[in-house]
Amino acid sequence: QKEVEQNSGPLSVPEGAIASLNCTYSDRVSQSFFWYRQYSGKSPELIMSIYSNGDKEDGRFTAQLNKASQYVSLLIRDSQPSDSATYLCAVRENYGQNFVFGPGTRLSVLP
Amino acid sequence: GAVVSQHPSWVICKSGTSVKIECRSLDFQATTMFWYRQFPKQSLMLMATSNEGSKATYEQGVEKDKFLINHASLTLSTLTVTSAHPEDSSFYICSAQPGTGRVDEQYFGPGTRLTVT
């Protein structure tokens, strides 16, 4: 059974610090990886997608992928209280259509 | 771009009645739409995958006769919860996958909060 694991948190960081969110996945052939942010009571919104090993930067967000270690992470620089949310890691099956979501990590940025 | 709407945003119904939830992709055509359910403080649970013009594929444990899915066009999918019971109360979220362009991404609707009394 394909699994995506995340530390449920809460992860607390002070405002202005770097928040590091981690995700591991079990299906070695997975090719597509996504980070979603979900505020309480709202639906998820896509932050970043990453497909190749290495880093991908978008503003304050950097996604890192290591397929050999089956590990994907999200770094949030200069964390703001508005970044406080649950972050969901999603992995797409190589030959199918479905996303497999992790349980999410709750991030709390303290002012 | 990539906007997905859902209607209604919340609904309260009596036990035994049916509720229909609409999911629309507003500015793109979605060959595939997904329906998720999320209980409080839990992660998303995929219920079913629907492709335009064909029958939905349901995840294990999801009753297809209870959760009817219709994907009649490239911009509209509906989920009907039949004979709803209080345990069906949940946050139902659809997502849509573009047929062209960024075909590997999913965009979520705002969700529908269902309460069955």
pLDDT tens-digit profile of B75-96?
A: 999 999 999 999 999 999 999 9
pLDDT (0 to 100) of residue B12: 97
Across the A:B interface, residue pairs with CB atoms under 8 Å apart total 42
Secondary structure (3-state) at A83: helix
Q: Are A91 and A65 in contact (CB under 8 A)?
A: no
- Top residue of B106, B114, B115 to mutate, by most chain A CBs within 10 Å, is B106
The Cα of B116 is separated from the nearest Cα of chain A by a number of Å equal to: 18
**Interface membership of B50 toward A (CB under 8 Å):** no
- Asked if B86 and B116 touch (Cβ cutoff 8 Å), the reply is yes
The whole-chain average pLDDT of chain B stands at 91
CA-CA distance, A91 to A33, in Å (whole number)?
5
- Residue A55 makes CB contacts below 8 A (sequence gap 6+) with A62, A63, A64
Position A94 scores a pLDDT of 63
Question: Is A35 an 8 Å CB contact of chain B?
Answer: no
DSSP E strands, chain A: 4-5, 11-14, 19-25, 32-38, 45-50, 54-58, 61-66, 71-76, 85-92, 99-101, 105-110
Using DSSP, state whether B108 is helix, strand or coil: strand
Q: How confident is the model at residue B98 (pLDDT cuts 50, 70, 90)?
A: confident
Q: pLDDT tens digit string along A57-109?
A: 999 999 999 999 999 999 999 999 999 999 999 998 765 567 889 999 999 99
Cβ-based burial of A90 (10 A; exposed 0-12, middle 13-18, buried ≥19):
buried
CA A97, B108, A54, B103: dihedral to nearest 10 degrees?
A: 50
